[in-house]
Chains A and B, each alone.
Chain A
């Protein structure tokens, strides 16, 4: 159904949508006019969905260079009376937080919604972070859907709420909402004309004096939360045992209570307005409860809030025992503050708390499945894709660093190339924090010479990260004359989140040509000398890296080669194969270099013949392995 379903003008019809599509539909139904995003998993697909329908529903969409710019641009639309949506992941919300904490003081005009993706278990993130604390810090109300259908409804409602209380509203979606599919009942499409208007007398300013006003807005939101249709209770009246849950965890809790046969004694309270909390609603159930369990993902936000509430009203609430992350009773297999919950995990936790027997069925036929797979599936380590130019870059950088011999420090950043941390990325990277941090750290290390720190410093980052967060750190390095080499692994796209365009691609979110913003020009403008090289030429790249490493001061190298997946899309690939007469297998001093050390997933070992081989289905035809094979046994049949 997907994009077609999102755009259907058939109110009342149920269509199957992903959570991300449901949010897009909710925004469309709410009449969104402006959407801005820096892509991040799990919410990366929302903006492309809106971009495809932008023409039809008169929505401006853009990929912004980072989340702070995105939220500021979206605020502009709101100031002009339009409804706007910003989409990011929690890490991006950190970047936007400075503005978020300010706009809560100035307020907004048109409905303004910030969809934030939280990623329990860090499926596609470097850390687990809970955006609810950020929303509270910024004094922005936050809503959490528990299902895909609710994702649409809550998004739509969030625009209305934002306009009513004059604050942007955060919608928190976890990965299981974003990426799951569910039935969504379509609503009416808007008919009103979207017109921007901002007069000279309208002001959006922040002053500490407004903080009381802001608090009263939050109070308004809390009052509205008391009767929100997104909060509800299922279970017996005056239950002594209750579960309070939010997000997808609510569904797990409901299922767990049923499986455990506790429906008559345990009630489940679903909260979607996690901040600010509906105090009276919760108090109503707390008063009768003697045991309260919290089921939520990432951090103990709901738990802390309710416990604070219980303390505030201790004389009414009386003696209650709380179970949750803090007590350690509700925990994923990774622990209470890490990993993901699921029905099995939650049933296990509730079973223990309420003394109800539960034996996890585990996965059916797991042993048979394992036996079957072990013999037939190749082992796949976490690794860069076949033909990935970053692998070639990393091998060259590693070679240059070893030849240099001064123990150069190599700092990493956020992107596919974070895999430089692991064995298949030659364990090259020593740090990975947040976007742009590698350069900031490098600019600091590059000033430690007076403390006898003589090692060369390299910061590695991708092109999209460059536009997102590098310029300030680079200007700092240039201004303060820090001795560091910034290597930009430019694969001409935002590869990790699905090839979204960026300023270097020169096309818009809707595919329109916009003209490139050249990395070299930016660096040249800063006064940082820059060299450009093709990483597929490993030998040449090694020489260039080595040479620049010998220089001092701030300097940059762009290793440019399109992402292998993008390069071969819909095109013929070079055929690469091993001439098994030339490969001498274990007689070669390389000790299975291609399949073991170089670690491209396409380089495999043919155990039967004791020779190297290429998995041609996986190979993307880059031919880099051929340039490194000491027997020159790898043949590249060039078609491109």
Chain B
């Protein structure tokens, strides 16, 4: 995607110093010099090399939409709002142990636990820990997958767990990630395809489940959250339309979403993908019924996973209501338009969006208005 010889120095200048690091974790652990702590990524020592996979694989040094579409799905997208997909459903897990622990319907956890159980993946890179101190986790059993259920609304560098798992010799590692993380995994896989000698651990990713995500929150959010919890243990954090909902043993408190806006990470304002467009399947809320998820089936692998999960009754699905789909597509397109600056001027430099995609976005946006 980027032809010039570029490496860690360029990564610092173009991404890290510009606050454009998504904290996906892809580059962390690929070498001993890139480290992360508390949602910060830094190159702690100069390796002295001019060229590096850290630069090449970073999702913020170049994303070419049609190229990635082609690599993952073998064809370009028709739906500019949600990206390539084979079907959209309301879905939920059937196991109450999962739904109780999960953010919404537990489809993400159910599918990944199922994949681990069935040996479709040898483990999964997930985001465990608590809302106040989340951390990347390698889950090797269904139980470990379940222990990672629940959304942490901050930028967990999940892909460090993927790198670690690959380093430990795991093949075909499942990933659950935010859109930026899914893009990073796919970019890494694309790189390995064009240059088989490039050693990118992400290329060993197996099933990739993407989350819906319009933004994540910065490190300072923890202090805010801690304050709101008032010292009590946090059971759940959710951001429904009403605002921020924090549940402790004492009950649930809700604060207006405007209060957390200042914590939205700068980098999220230049992200045009809010549904993990290159995942095998994407999962989000329904913004309607918290017991259910939105499930977007995208790739062949995603389809067969869902088929097998349905066969074994691990999840159940129902049709996506037409009016809800319209709302979802509108929201997704709206974000794209904002990021691509209403399509008049070029959007963020790292994004390559061809003219026909841009005109289709415009067209589909207008269709939705009627």
Contact = CB atoms under 8 A, between A and B. Distances in A.
B40 A589 contact: no
Interface residues of A, number: 27
A629 B36 contact: no
B31 A630 contact: yes
Interface string A535-552: 000000011001100100
A157 interface: no
Contact of A589 (B35, B37, B42, B49): B49
A398 B33 CA distance: 11
A403 B49 contact: no
B54 interface: yes
B40 A399 contact: no
Contact of B42 (A405, A426, A588): A405
B116 interface: no
Interface string A515-548: 0000000000000000000000000001100110
B149 interface: no
B135 to A, nearest CB: 10
B167 A405 contact: no
Contacts of A584: 199
B44 A399 contact: yes
B32 interface: yes
Interface stretch (A213-221, A240-248, A590-598): A590-598
Given A542-B37, A546-B37, A632-B168, A588 B31 contact: yes
B47 A591 contact: yes
A94 interface: no
B47 A399 contact: no
B167 A597 contact: no
Contacts of A578: none
Given A402-B45, A403-B40, A590 B32 contact: yes
A543 B37 contact: yes
Q: For the complex, would chain A's binding face be called helix, strand, loop or mixed by DSSP majority?
A: helix
A584 B199 CA distance: 10
A201 interface: no
A631 B37 contact: no
Contact of B29 (A400, A547, A587, A630): A630
Nearest to B53: A589
A587 B167 contact: no
A317 interface: no
Nearest to B36: A403
B185 interface: no
Contacts of A398: 44-45
B179 interface: no
A631 B52 contact: no
A582 to B, nearest CB: 9
Contact of B30 (A404, A405, A542, A589): A589
A405 B197 contact: no
Interface string B17-34: 000000000000111110
A475 interface: no
Among the interface residues A398, A550, A589, A590, which one has the most CB atoms of the partner chain B within 10 A? A589
Contacts, number: 67
Contacts of A543: 37-38
A542 B35 contact: yes
B42 A631 contact: no
Interface string A420-431: 000000100000
A69 interface: no
B319 interface: no
B230 interface: no
Contacts of B44: 398-399, 402-403
A587 B30 CA distance: 12
B167 A632 contact: yes
Contact of B167 (A590, A593, A630): A630
A628 interface: yes
Contacts of B40: 403-405
Contacts of A589: 30-31, 47, 49, 52-54
A593 B47 CA distance: 8
Nearest to B32: A593
Contacts of A588: 31, 199
Given A402-B35, A403-B37, A542-B35, A590 B197 contact: no
B42 A402 contact: yes
B48 interface: yes
Interface in A559-614: 584, 587-591, 593, 597-598
Nearest to B167: A632
A582 B17 CA distance: 34
A543 B133 CA distance: 12
Interface string B341-354: 00000000000000
B32 A587 contact: no
Among the interface residues A542, A543, A591, which one has the most CB atoms of the partner chain B within 10 A? A591
A405 B12 CA distance: 13
A632 B165 CA distance: 10
A628 B45 CA distance: 13
A114 B30 CA distance: 58
Nearest to B197: A587
A402 B33 CA distance: 10
Contacts of A630: 29-32, 167
A631 B169 CA distance: 10
Nearest to A593: B32
A367 to B, nearest CB: 34
Interface string A392-408: 00000011101111000
A590 B32 CA distance: 6
Interface in B39-97: 40, 42-45, 47-49, 52-54
A398 B49 CA distance: 20
Interface of A: 398-400, 402-405, 426, 542-543, 546-547, 550, 584, 587-591, 593, 597-598, 628-632
24 contacts: A402-B42, A403-B35, A403-B36, A403-B37, A426-B45, A546-B38, A547-B38, A550-B38, A587-B197, A588-B199, A589-B30, A589-B31, A589-B53, A590-B33, A593-B31, A597-B32, A598-B32, A629-B32, A630-B29, A630-B30, A630-B167, A632-B167, A632-B168, A632-B169
Across chains A and B, which 4 residue pairs bring their CB atoms closest together, nearest first?
A402-B44, A589-B31, A632-B167, A591-B47
Given A589-B54, A593-B32, A632-B167, 10 more contacts: A400-B37, A402-B45, A403-B37, A547-B38, A589-B31, A589-B53, A591-B48, A630-B29, A630-B30, A632-B168
